[in-house]
Amino acid sequence: MGDKKIELDNEAGYTTKSVHGGEYTFNDKYAITTPIYQTATYTFENTAQLCDFFEGRSQRISEYGRYGNPTQEVAEDKIRELENAEAALLFPSGMNAVTTAIFAMCKSGDHIIITSDSYRRTRQFIRQIMSRYGVEFSLSEPNAESIEKEIKPNTRLIISESPTNPYLRVIDFEKIVAVARKHRIKTMIDSTLATPFNLRPLDYGVDIVTHSVTKYLAGHNDVLAGVLLGKNSLISAIKELQAIIGGIPDPNSSYLIIRGLKTFPLRLQRQNESAMAVAEYLEKHPKIERVWYPGLKSHPDYEIAKKYMKGFGGVVSFQIKGDLAAGSRFIDAMKIPKIAPSIGGVESLIEQPSLMSYYELSTEEREKIGIFDNLVRFSIGIEDTPDLLKDLQQALDAM
């Protein structure tokens, strides 16, 4: 690995950054792609070189694989540039990133506020795991007024998603950050569905941004990873805990992330455009009860989304007119999207949240938490938009 990073102009375009950002001018043996450094440990030429490393006089990444890998470092730096962050830290999954950050930032006696439409596993972790360690929590609606009402003297962290899943609610960052700073509370936003192509929460004063890199950033449904982004001081503190816990991404995954990021803006542009077309088509269809997409004027957060987002993302949620069985008939009639969890890959995926994520609950239990049996989540891939619309039409006609 070379010791000189590619220097990009500050005004360089986003796609240029996605291709060249974080990369070295020359790689080993002059390879155009970043190598996969498949190693668990690193050697030193002599004792003086060892001392230089530990005293900060060396450009080396690490002395042992649990503390970093050169392939990982390039992937982190590329995401950092795309998010406009000071620092980035990769993890083997999005949930590992989130849970490590919460462990690092909260202690017994602290209080967390998490918005009600946040990822269910994050809510589950706070409710079931952090409570064992004496950390309290409150659920709040995803707006500044509701959040401020839940603040206690021991509140240390506010967690939300934007957009949320599956209803794609969008928060007003400036208002929530103002509330958090007023009370000296840190903020963490899961921005997986927005991606840094459409929205960069750090630009509005958010402290920590997290992504499931598995989704749009890697983009090919072939790697699990997560990332945290923020100021150097905060990310460094979390990295200390990561080194103890051992949640480290492997070099092969890091390589796949680098590969995926090089086409990331091109994929997102197509997914934004197709999702908007799908949402507009569905909203006009007589067999659709309601469409949830922040790019539609009918969405409750349309004005907020328009203020903060460059594009409105690749997920469209909607409610079929009918029951659980009607939703299943519709999904089974679709030909292009595959029935599967997850979002953000090049392939379109479709699911009923009632079955995919909440199968064990009754209809009544699901409705109490806002998951209705006729709800469908459609993650748009990069297929041709006319083909997706044609598929929707034939599936709805078949109902």
The domains of the chain are located at 14-261, 264-397
DSSP characters for 333-347? Answer: H-SSSEE-S---SSS
To the nearest 10 degrees (0 to 180), the angle between helices 232-245 and 94-105 is: 110
Which single residue is written with the structure tokens 């375009």?
13
Predicted pLDDT of residue 1: 56
pLDDT at 267 over 90: yes
CB burial readout 321-345, b (16+ within 10 A) else e: ebebebbbebbeebebbeeeeebbb
Q: Which of 228, 188, 233 is nearest to 211 (CA)?
A: 228
pLDDT at 72 over 60: yes
The model's confidence at residue 50, banded by pLDDT at 50, 70 and 90, is very high
Q: Which of 258, 250, 196, 249 is nearest to 226 (CA)?
A: 249
* Backbone phi, psi, residue 76, to 5°: -60, -45
- Average pLDDT score over the chain: 94
Q: For 250-261, write each residue's pLDDT tens digit.
A: 999 999 999 999
d(CA 312, CA 170) in angstroms, rounded, equals: 10
Predicted pLDDT of residue 2: 57
Q: Which of 194, 186, 191 is nearest to 209 (CA)?
A: 191
Predicted pLDDT of residue 362: 72
pLDDT at 359 over 70: no
- 3-class SS of residue 223: coil
The model's confidence at residue 60, banded by pLDDT at 50, 70 and 90, is confident
Mean pLDDT for the stretch of residues 15-19? 93
pLDDT at 100 over 90: yes
* Beta-sheet pairing, 186-190 with 155-161: parallel
Q: Does domain 264-397 have CATH number 3.40.50.300?
A: no
pLDDT at 58 over 90: no
Q: For 23-46, write each residue's pLDDT tens digit.
A: 989 888 889 999 999 999 999 999
Predicted pLDDT of residue 44: 94
What is the CATH number that goes with domain 14-261?
Answer: 3.40.640.10
Predicted pLDDT of residue 152: 98
d(CA 362, CA 200) in angstroms, rounded, equals: 38
* pTM of the entire predicted model: 0.94
Q: For 194-214, write each residue's pLDDT tens digit.
A: 999 999 999 999 999 999 999
Q: For 130-187, write each residue's pLDDT tens digit.
A: 999 999 999 999 999 999 999 999 999 999 999 999 999 999 999 999 999 999 999 9
Sign of the alpha-carbon torsion through 192, 237, 61, 23: positive
pLDDT at 360 over 80: no
